[in-house]
């Protein structure tokens, strides 16, 4: 029974549209409020996205007739939804303050934006890895005098493909010491209209503003520990990233070389690594959260997989697909990993966070 009313801020953008379409048949949540910039405010949702609806399915009828609110007016959402998904792309300082305003008004914010990823009492959630980080929310609320509202965020889309494989190995006693990560990131990651077609067709762009810094550091917060009401970053692994924009519509690939923080005789064999990955399961699977993939990590053994066009939609676009596992001549192992950037990496990842928070009793 989809009885919990939710709002989508930035509902007209790529990630916002993905939220609206994915929530159409969600068993717990229904979209009751949509908001975007003042350019869209006052129109019906169907009018606001007319000519720029990018999903493969039609606009959900229940959302089409909603009147778009001005996302800058947090009070406009009061009484209309139990939480908001934030998929806004705007001035970073203004967005940081705006998300805090929603939380201060008593509306929980599950954000896709990067502005609060480094706020120490805001969890950066990947529910298969750090579901316990939600415990900082009680401290966050207390420190700011918020009763019902809070902020939780999901990590950058570029890191999702290799985080679960690295975490699974760490949990099995095979921690990584150093990694070199080369990402091949889809154009949808840049929003709409995004990268000009003249720059993207027949081309690769070896630069994405701010992405390498996020790729190198967000993992440390996700692998961190909760101490004294804040998250203290893990000391490793040390990551060096090369982030590239490639002419793929959806699906971020990462090519990873990894060195274990273990003496030679303790390093896992390729067979052991395969076993660790294929048997990996975590709290979202145990709780049977509606958006959780049955198997968080799917291993492909063909020499030419994973590929975005063939593997990005596996299990609702929520599973990470790994392949090309082989020895590395410089570090220990090499592999390729793929995740869907607007599903696992954005909207459905945000929805999974909301499901986890609901299961943990953070909102009614
Ligand atoms: P987008 O397609 O450019 O959409 C931006 C949204 O923000 C639109 O709804 C837009 O409304 C609204 N907006 C813009 N300026 C505003 C303002 N001044 N006040 C209020 N609303 C405003 O961007 P996107 O790719 O969906 O990304 C949304 C967020 O998710 C960003 O923070 C991004 O970093 C993050 N993210 C994106 C991806 C991805 O794969 N694309 C993955 C992970 C995280 P109008 O339509 O009315 O202009």
Residue among 81, 116, 157, 167 flagged as catalytic: 157
CA 154 to ligand 1 centroid distance, Å: 15
- The per-residue pLDDT for range 345-359, each reduced to its tens digit, is 999 999 999 999 999
Q: What's the confidence (pLDDT) of residue 2? A: 63
The alpha carbon torsion through 181, 116, 340, 159 (nearest 10 deg) reads 10
Mean per-residue pLDDT, 61-66 = 98
Mean per-residue pLDDT, 34-62 = 97
363 lines ligand 1 (CB under 6 A): no
CATH (one of 3.40.50.11810, 3.40.50.720, 3.90.1300.10, 2.40.340.10) for 4-156+346-359: 3.40.50.720
Residue of 10, 31, 208 to test ligand 1 pocket, by largest number of atoms within 8 Å of CB: 10
Q: How far is 143 from 151, CA to CA, in rounded Å?
A: 13
CA 86 to ligand 1 centroid distance, Å: 9
Determine how β-strand 83-86 pairs with β-strand 109-111: parallel
- In words, the CATH class of domain 158-339 is alpha beta
CA 269 to ligand 1 centroid distance, Å: 43
- Among candidate residues 286, 308, 261, 310, the one with its CA nearest the CA of residue 359: 286
Residue boundaries of the structural domains of the chain: 4-156+346-359, 158-339
Nearest residue (CA) to ligand 1, atom 41: 189
112 lines ligand 1 (CB under 6 A): yes
C-beta of residue 319 within 8 angstroms of C-beta of residue 295: yes
72 lines ligand 1 (CB under 6 A): yes
Angle at 18 between CA 146 and CA 59, to 5 degrees: 115
40 lines ligand 1 (CB under 6 A): yes
Q: What's the confidence (pLDDT) of residue 1? A: 56
The mean pLDDT of the chain is: 97
Residue of 34, 36, 66 to test ligand 1 pocket, by largest number of atoms within 8 Å of CB: 36
Q: How far is 214 from 159, CA to CA, in rounded Å?
A: 8
Q: Is 243 one of the catalytic residues?
A: no
- The per-residue pLDDT for range 235-262, each reduced to its tens digit, is 999 999 999 999 999 999 999 999 999 9
CA 176 to ligand 1 centroid distance, Å: 34
- The per-residue pLDDT for range 118-129, each reduced to its tens digit, is 999 999 999 999
CA 39 to ligand 1 centroid distance, Å: 13
CA 13 to ligand 1 centroid distance, Å: 5
Q: How far is 333 from 15, CA to CA, in rounded Å?
A: 34
C-beta of residue 322 within 8 angstroms of C-beta of residue 335: yes
157 lines ligand 1 (CB under 6 A): yes
Q: What's the confidence (pLDDT) of residue 363? A: 87
Q: What's the confidence (pLDDT) of residue 16? A: 97
Q: Which residues contact 259 (CB under 8 A, 6 or more apart)?
A: 176, 177, 178, 179, 328, 331, 332
Q: Is 252 one of the catalytic residues?
A: yes
Mean per-residue pLDDT, 145-165 = 96
Q: What's the confidence (pLDDT) of residue 42? A: 98
**Residue 233 confidence (pLDDT) above 90:** yes
Q: How far is 249 from 345, CA to CA, in rounded Å?
A: 14
Q: What's the confidence (pLDDT) of residue 364? A: 76
- Among candidate residues 142, 141, 63, 73, the one with its CA nearest the CA of residue 108: 141
Residue among 167, 252, 295, 340 flagged as catalytic: 252
Quick check: do 4-156+346-359 and 158-339 share a fold? no
Mean per-residue pLDDT, 133-150 = 97
């Amino acid at each position: 029974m989809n009885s919990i009313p939710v709002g989508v801020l930035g509902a007209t953008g790529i990630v916002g549209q993905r939220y609206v379409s994915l929530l159409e048949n969600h068993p717990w949540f229904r979209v009751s409020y949509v908001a975007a910039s003042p350019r869209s405010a006052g129109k019906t949702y169907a009018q606001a996205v007319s000519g720029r609806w990018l999903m493969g399915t039609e606009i959900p009828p229940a959302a089409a007739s909603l009147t778009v609110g001005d996302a800058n007016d947090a009070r406009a959402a009061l009484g209309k939804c139990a939480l908001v998904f934030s998929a806004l792309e705007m001035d970073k300082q203004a967005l940081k303050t705006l998300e805090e305003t929603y939380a201060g008004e008593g509306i929980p914010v599950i954000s896709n934006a990067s502005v609060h990823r480094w706020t120490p009492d805001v969890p950066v959630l990947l529910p298969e890895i750090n579901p316990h980080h939600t415990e900082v929310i009680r401290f966050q609320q207390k420190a700011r005098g918020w009763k019902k509202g809070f902020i939780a965020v999901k990590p950058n889309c570029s890191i999702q493909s290799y985080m679960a494989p690295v975490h699974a190995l760490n949990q099995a006693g095979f921690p990584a010491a150093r990694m070199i990560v080369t990402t091949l990131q889809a154009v949808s990651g840049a929003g709409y209209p995004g990268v000009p077609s003249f720059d993207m067709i027949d081309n690769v762009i070896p630069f994405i503003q701010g992405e390498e810094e996020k790729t190198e550091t967000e993992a440390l917060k996700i692998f961190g520990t909760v101490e004294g009401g804040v998250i203290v970053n893990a000391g490793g692994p040390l990551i060096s990233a090369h982030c590239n924009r490639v002419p793929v519509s959806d699906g971020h690939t990462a090519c990873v070389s990894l060195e274990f923080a273990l003496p030679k005789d303790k390093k896992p064999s390729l067979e052991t690594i395969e076993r660790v990955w294929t048997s990996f399961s975590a709290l979202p699977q145990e709780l049977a959260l509606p958006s959780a993939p049955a198997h968080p990590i799917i291993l492909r053994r063909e020499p030419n997989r994973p590929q975005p066009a063939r593997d990005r939609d596996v299990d609702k676009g929520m599973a990470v697909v790994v392949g090309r596992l082989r020895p590395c001549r410089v570090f220990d192992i090499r592999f390729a990993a793929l995740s869907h950037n607007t599903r696992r990496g954005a909207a459905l990842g945000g929805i999974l966070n909301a499901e986890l928070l609901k299961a943990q009793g953070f909102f009614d």
